[in-house]
Amino acid sequence: MEEEESKVTQAVKEAVIKAAKKGEALKVKVGEITREAVKKTLAETEPVKEKVKKAAADTMEGVVQGAKEVGVKAEELTKKAVEGIIEGTKQAGTKASEFVKYAAEATIETAKKAGNEVDEVATDALKVLLEGVKEVFKKEDKK
């Protein structure tokens, strides 16, 4: 039996398709779409590990499905999607040093399903994760 598509996945997929049809720069737009999707999803719930991971995975799945539907390689959008997901996780007010890691793990796992360029996708995602975590620790040290 096939899993029902989550509302987050569906909304992100539709936003990616809409942006592509409008001729917007998808590599830029996908960061905005994913950031807002994660931020909104986590704002509506208590941000515990499982929910953060699910929000990140559902968001990345929406990017992958939307990219396929408009004929763009998902790998091309992954870096901005990961950045958006991590930023959305931080902006949602979650304890970023704890939850950004879970969001990145879920994002990478979903991105791996997207295509053949898994190593490149995972490497980009990990670089973004490390940059995000360093930034979080810098901000927390200043407090």
0.85 surpassed by pTM: no
Q: Which of 117, 119, 121, 114 is nearest to 104 (CA)?
A: 121
H helices of 1-143, in order, are 7-22, 26-43, 49-70, 74-91, 96-112, 118-142
What are the φ/ψ torsions at residue 64 (nearest 5 degrees)? -60, -50
Number of domains in the chain: 1
Highest mean pLDDT of the ranges 49-58, 117-126, 129-138: 49-58
What is the per-residue pLDDT for 142? 60
Domain interval for residue 94: 8-17+24-142
* Gap between the Cα atoms of 116 and 21, Å rounded: 25
Instruction: Give the mean pLDDT of 83-109.
Output: 75
Q: Domain for residue 1, yes or no?
A: no
Q: Domain for residue 66, yes or no?
A: yes
Q: Domain for residue 111, yes or no?
A: yes
What is the per-residue pLDDT for 3? 54
What is the per-residue pLDDT for 18? 95
Q: Domain for residue 68, yes or no?
A: yes
pLDDT band at 125 (very low <50, low <70, confident <90, very high): low
* CB neighbours of residue 93 within 10 Å: 11
**Residue 27 pLDDT > 60:** yes
Q: Domain for residue 3, yes or no?
A: no
- The b-or-e profile of 13-48 (16+ CB within 10 A means b, else e) is bebbbebbeeeeebeebbbbbbbbbbbebbeeeebe
**Mean pLDDT for all residues in the chain:** 78
Instruction: Give the mean pLDDT of 17-36.
Output: 92
Asked if residues 64 and 106 have their Cβ atoms less than 8 Å apart, the reply is no
What is the per-residue pLDDT for 43? 84
* Gap between the Cα atoms of 124 and 5, Å rounded: 26
The per-residue pLDDT for range 46-73, each reduced to its tens digit, is 778 888 888 888 998 898 889 889 988 7
Q: Domain for residue 80, yes or no?
A: yes
What is the per-residue pLDDT for 60? 87
Q: Domain for residue 92, yes or no?
A: yes
* Position with higher pLDDT, 122 vs 20: 20
